[in-house]
Structure 1
Amino acid sequence: MLDERRLQANLRVPVDGIIGAGTLTALFAKMGAAPAIAAELGLAANVHFRTYGILDTGLRLAHFMGQCSHESGGFRYMEEIASGAAYEGRADLGNTQPGDGRRYKGRGPIQLTGRSNARFYGRKCGIDFETRPDLMAVPSIGILTACMYWDQKGLNAYADRDEGTAIGNGINRGNPKSDKQPNGAADRIERTALAKKIIL
């Protein structure tokens, strides 16, 4: 279970035991988001975290926050800093047309990457990300795609078992059952530990 009052006390927000946009905004800010981004993420997360079961337990919330904090540089970057040229020609990402690497570079808190992901998650939520991948960099839309991706990969189950490496591989390699270490493993562990300290 999620201890709502403990989380609110740790965030130094009003302790009423009811997680809402205000508490989540404070959590995103504590994890590094600038005020405007934190507020937009908090508002949207108050809806989508419930839909995708991320608020059901403290471990789910902590792992989600820690992993996405790694991917987005503390929720500061909703679009990958690199050009995306490294993704050019990556058929595994659906990048089959010239310019796809740059066009479909990572966006949103989970840094959703590739034409295939843009098409799949766009169709899932009814927004044409394949034509307008820039929309995934809007924080309130990006947090939705992050939750959808998290759900699609079944990462709540790994969070319930506190399996951070599997979650990192689910995000970074697209396969939580990979036996390799995800890129940025040490930073993922550190950011998840911070999230646990705030939430658990």
Structure 2
Amino acid sequence: MNLSQFTSLVQIPNEQEWGTHFLPALAKYEINTPLRQSYFFAQILHESMGLTQVEENLNYSAKRLVEVFPKYFANIGVAHRYAHQPEKIANRVYANRMKNGNEWSGDGYKFRGRGPLQITGKSNYTAVSKTLLGDDSFVDDPDLLLLPKWGAMAACWWWDNAGCNQLADDRLFKAVTRRVNGALNGYSDRLKWLARIRALA
């Protein structure tokens, strides 16, 4: 994919900047065939709503909390105590996993999803920071992943680290979706992005 093709996919104020940073990141992590790139961009453009939302939106109603996070909100009564409070929601659903502390540590919200592929959890922030920068800069300042320079590179790092290039080579789009999302949420929208990308070829 070239810069012109990339900018034809998204209409955001800083599309050129995102494109400029994605191109070297794609090369570094060998997302370098039409198949790999189409699968990659279909996923990130869904996850980030066309790069318009590179920070996780956790402003859920009680009803949606029960639907999306039934493990953590087993009934509507519990969900009402958290509804439309993103910080409390993140601290509950991301507690005690991905090296986050408990619900009261604040880690869930601090290490909520950021960047085009929504890097989430202290363990992932630590790993990508050590890999790209050799230190804990992303742990100390998670908002760095909102910048195109680091968001693009982190997305490509995660994709490679998760083995998604091989899944793409094997044409396993559902498996890629599960690897990225943990399930098949938004699968039809991901397929729509895939079709749009393929139409550029």
What band does the TM-score fall into relative to the shorter chain? 0.7 to 0.9
Q: Which runs of 5+ in 1 are unaligned?
A: 1-18, 174-180
Q: Residue 45 and residue 62 in structure 1: after superposition, are their counterparts in 2 closer, same or farther (change >3 A)? A: same
For residues 67-114 of structure 1, the C-alpha deviation after alignment (integer angstroms, 9 at most, x for no partner) is: 000100011122123235433243222221521121111111111111
Cross-structure match for 1:71: 47
Q: Secondary structure at the match of 1:117?
A: helix
Cross-structure match for 2:67: none
Task: Report runs of 4+ in structure 1 exceeding 4 Å deviation.
Answer: none
Cross-structure match for 2:146: 137
Structure 2 Cα separation of the partners of residues 27 and 103 of structure 1: 34
Cross-structure match for 1:190: 192
Structure 1 residue corresponding to 2:9, chosen from 16, 31, 35: 31
Structure 1 residue corresponding to 2:89, chosen from 61, 86, 91: 86
Cross-structure match for 1:49: 26
Question: Is residue 107 from structure 1 mapped to residue 85 from structure 2 by the alignment?
Answer: no
Contact 2:129-2:138 within 8 A present in 1 as well: yes
Structure 2 Cα separation of the partners of residues 146 and 182 of structure 1: 19
Structure 2 Cα separation of the partners of residues 162 and 136 of structure 1: 29
Contact 2:7-2:19 within 8 A present in 1 as well: no
The alignment's TM-score, normalised by the length of structure 1, stands at 0.77
Q: Secondary structure at the match of 1:66?
A: helix
Cross-structure match for 2:81: none
Contact 1:109-1:143 within 8 A present in 2 as well: yes
Q: How many corresponding residue pairs?
A: 168
Q: Residue 52 and residue 103 in structure 1: after superposition, are their counterparts in 2 closer, same or farther (change >3 A)? A: same
1:183 Cα shift?
Answer: 1.8
Structure 1 Cα separation of the partners of residues 23 and 46 of structure 2: 21
Q: Residue 190 and residue 125 in structure 1: after superposition, are their counterparts in 2 closer, same or farther (change >3 A)? A: same
**Rg (Cα) greater in structure:** 2
The alignment's TM-score, normalised by the length of structure 2, stands at 0.77
After TM superposition, the structure 1 stretch with the greater mean CA deviation from structure 2, 80-89 or 184-193, is 80-89
Identical aligned residues as a percent: 31
Q: Residue 147 and residue 72 in structure 1: after superposition, are their counterparts in 2 closer, same or farther (change >3 A)? A: same
